[in-house]
């Protein structure tokens, strides 16, 4: 396993992050335990979850599974950099969602209880909420840090100007501010290259891409999957719409002698702004298979060929669209 600093911090995290969204809905508790044990064995020390995962309002199903895994002992908690999120609707009251100080405080306490731990290493705002003042948000986060319940704060699904605003206000308050941003990013979805990636580079914010295989689209879909997400009607429509592009992609990967999923992750890891793409394995095979991406080094010529198949927005703003 290879490790990289989380943004501008001194914390080293594995260059692949274990996403746990499938724990509960698509993987049983026993399967989830086995995947987490194997992840540690492989050197993956960065686990990502959220209070809403499990998709049963207010229950935090996935956090509960992780908490039970920690409770088995064996220094499991001590070996993991644990990231979870706040924002989603967790109850029926008006204040049971969002980023008010009330919700942040209550959500953090509930996540700690479900996760059976005394602290969250990386507490991420799952979405921006522009109706709550940044001074209120940072005051709530500062209190959690002062209490030792949170160590670092991150964001997810933020626009570049939200990241900049958040860190400018944090700087004014003499607070560390955002150290990471979790954005949707893949070869098939490169919008964040315009402004989010340059902003993160400028502020020393590590980028943790979610859906790096775009829901499996980049993982070799032309073989005709009969079950799972690749077999879903929506995915089949996407495949039909861009089949020529996918054929070129999978042909290039075959020429390289590598699996498409591994090449897609290797392409992402070649960008120094990227800290740790999130992989969300449902099975042990998916977890172990992803390790190959860390060994693939793509030469400049191959990166150019990939860009020709999956063109981005043309670079960073404003040069991508102005002189």
Residues marked active site are found at 53
Contacts of 92 (CB under 8 A, 6+ apart): none
Strand (E) or helix (H) holding 121: strand 120-125
Q: Which two tokens stand for residue 14?
A: 């594995």
**Secondary structure of residue 312 in the 3-state scheme:** coil
Length of the chain: 323
Residue 10 — left, alpha, or beta (φ > 0 → left; ψ -120 to 50 → alpha)?
alpha
DSSP string, 52-106: TTTSSTTT-HHHHHHHHHHTT-TTTGGG-EEEEEE-S--SSSTTSSSS-HHHHHH
Angstrom distance (rounded) from CA 200 to CA 203: 5
* Cα–Cα distance measured from residue 122 to residue 97, given in angstroms and rounded to the nearest whole number: 19
Phi, psi for residue 13 in degrees, rounded to 5: -125, 155
**Burial letters 85-111, b for 16+ CB under 10 A, else e:** bbbbebeeeeebbbbbbebbbbbbebb
| Dist CA 216 CA 15 (whole Å) | 20
CA-nearest of 319, 269, 257, 255 to 297 is: 269
Place of tokens 């993991």: 80
User: Is the CB of residue 122 less than 8 Å from the CB of residue 180?
Assistant: yes
């Amino acid at each position: 396993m290879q490790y990289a600093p989380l943004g501008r911090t001194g914390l080293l995290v594995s260059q692949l992050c274990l996403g746990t969204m499938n724990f509960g809905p698509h993987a049983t508790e026993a399967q989830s335990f086995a995947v987490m044990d194997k992840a540690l064995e492989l050197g993956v020390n960065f686990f990502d979850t959220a209070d809403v995962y499990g998709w049963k309002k207010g229950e935090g199903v996935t956090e509960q599974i992780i908490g039970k895994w920690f409770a088995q002992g064996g220094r499991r908690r001590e070996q993991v950099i644990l990231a979870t999120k706040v924002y989603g609707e967790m109850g029926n009251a008006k204040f049971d969602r969002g980023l008010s100080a009330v919700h942040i405080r209550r959500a953090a306490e509930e996540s700690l209880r479900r996760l059976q731990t005394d602290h969250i290493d990386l507490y991420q705002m799952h979405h921006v909420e522009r109706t709550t003042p940044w001074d209120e948000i940072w005051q709530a986060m500062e209190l959690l840090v002062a209490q030792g319940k949170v160590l670092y704060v991150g964001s997810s699904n933020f626009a570049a100007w939200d990241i900049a605003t958040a860190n400018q206000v944090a700087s004014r308050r003499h607070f560390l501010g955002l150290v990471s941003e979790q954005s949707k990013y893949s070869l098939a979805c490169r919008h964040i290259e315009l402004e989010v990636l340059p902003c993160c580079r400028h502020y020393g914010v590590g980028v943790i891409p979610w859906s790096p295989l775009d829901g499996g689209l980049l993982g070799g879909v032309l073989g005709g999957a009969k079950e799972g997400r690749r077999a879903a009607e929506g995915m089949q429509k996407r495949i039909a719409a861009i089949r020529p592009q996918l054929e070129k992609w999978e042909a290039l990967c075959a020429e390289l002698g590598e699996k498409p999923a591994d090449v897609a992750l290797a392409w992402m890891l070649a960008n120094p702004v990227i800290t740790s793409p999130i992989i969300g394995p449902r099975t042990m095979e998916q977890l172990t298979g992803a390790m190959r991406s860390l060994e693939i080094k793509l030469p400049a010529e191959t990166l150019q060929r990939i860009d020709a198949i999956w063109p981005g927005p043309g670079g960073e703003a404003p040069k991508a669209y102005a002189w």
